[in-house]
Structures are given as structure tokens and as C-alpha cells.
Structure 1
Amino acid sequence: MNRLIIAICSVVLLQSTVAQAELPSASDAVIRQSLSSGRPTIIDLGAHTCIPCKKMAPILESLSVEYRGKASVLFIDVHDDQAAARKFRVQMIPTQIYFNAHGKEVKRHIGFMDKEGILKELKNAGLK
């Protein structure tokens, strides 16, 4: 019985931790500013309700903090911002789009991507 209670509490705590590790959905102005900042940028287009998106949220949050000033890490919730989904031609979520320091799209990936994969693509986009 105690193990069941501990397991339930662990699941609840894990879910609340994942929910807290969400980047806010980026506005159009923030996107424009990031793409003209001279830094590589990743824009993750997903939804706060999407399972792979939820798994990526803490990864993106940690990269955002770790590489602040060196790269821009943005999230757009396509359910809240359908215009952005159309603008970036999103077919499935999550979709990550990588931009170089000049704001040019250099890579697009659909599906979950781990921290190492994201870092590799940011480095390919010019992260130093």
C-alpha cells in the first residue's frame, strides 16, 4: 500500500515539474528580434498538451538558460498561435526549426529531439 502511495505521489510531482519547465509561447516580435540578433535560433513549434513536446520542455528550458546570450531558444504553442503554424508551414508537432546567425533557416526536424541532438544542430547553425 505504501509503495502505491509513493508511486502516485511521484507521478504527481513529476507532472508538476514538467508543467513548470515550459517556455512561454514566443510572440511575433520576440521571433523577429531573435532572428535578427546575430545568434543562432531554434524555434520549437508544438503544444503544451503534446506528449513529446512536454518531454522536450525541460530540455529547451535548460538550453535557454545555459546558452542565454549565445543562442535563442523559443517555443510557439501552435494551438494558441495558429498563424505561426501556417507561417512556418508546420505539418506535425513538435517541429524544430534552426536558424543561423543571419536568420536563415538551416535545418528542420519533426518529432522529439534530445539535448545532444538539439546542441548538435545549434552548433551546425553557428553556436560557439
Structure 2
Amino acid sequence: MKKRFTVLLILVGLGLFGACGGQATEPAPEIPVKGLVTMVDLGAHECIPCKMMEPILKDLQREYQGRAAVIFIDVWKDRQAAGRFGIRVIPTQIFYDKEGKEVFRHEGFLDKKSIVHVFAKLGVQ
């Protein structure tokens, strides 16, 4: 399992992830969302740490609806997203303030408490 994950990280890091997944099914939403603190999580539905984050992201989407945007992009389906956001590994979380400026970036699994902490620092109640 560890070997497979390492290969995945190398493929993403080299920009070769397109060989691992399908076609983009729909374009990414506008990021950052105007007027809202935005967190975008770039990963893949098949990635183990990404799967671990899925319920956290769903909870945050419900809890912060209308106050912060929480967006997931599957880089194996949206092949251009990795280059667009300059990611090296998945998952990667990027946080934007209300003005749309990138203010924080994290690579790897990020727990709910840490995400809530970043939201609070950005003024989201």
C-alpha cells in the first residue's frame, strides 16, 4: 500500500497524473468564491488520505454553508487543476481570504480541527 501511495505522489509531482485517471467531467467552480473565505481541497476519490478527508469536507460544507466555501477537486478527473493550482502532492488544501488572496496552503491529510482553526483565523465564525 505504501509503495502505491508513493508512486501516486511521484506521478502527481511530475505532472503525469493524467495517465492514472479519466477525463474531466465538468470544469472546476470559480475559485476562490467571491466574498467568501474559500478552502479548496485537491485530491482524488481513490487516494487513501483523500478518502479520509471526504466526510470532514462534507461536514464542513454543511456547517459553514453561506459563511465559507469548501470545494473538492478530483485532479484525476480534472487533469488541468494540478497545474492550475501548482500542487505537488495530493491531497493539498488551499485557503483564500474573502478578498480572494491565497493565505495558507497545506499538503497531506488535514483534520477538521485544523481547518476550523484556519477558518477562525480568517474571520469565519
TM-score range, shorter chain: 0.7 to 0.9
Unaligned ranges ≥5, structure 1: 1-24
Aligned length: 101
Percent sequence identity over aligned pairs:
47
Task: Give 2:92's aligned amino acid.
Answer: T
Conservation of the 8 A alpha-carbon contact between 2:38 and 2:70: yes
| 2:37 aligned residue | 40
Give the root-mean-square deviation of aligned CA atoms: 1.6
User: TM-score, structure 1 length as denominator?
Assistant: 0.74
Unaligned ranges ≥5, structure 2: 1-24
Task: Find the partner of 1:120 among 114, 117, 120.
Answer: 117
Is 2:50 the counterpart of 1:77? no
**CA separation of 1:87/1:51 partners in 2, compared to 1, >3 Å: closer, same or farther?**
same
Task: Find the partner of 1:97 among 94, 97, 115.
Answer: 94
Q: Which has the higher helix share?
A: 1
| 1:31 aligned residue | 30
Higher gyration radius (CA): 1
Task: Find the partner of 1:107 among 104, 116, 121.
Answer: 104
Task: Find the partner of 1:65 among 48, 62, 66.
Answer: 62
Task: Give 1:120's aligned amino acid.
Answer: H
Provide runs of 4+ in structure 1 moved above 4 Å: none
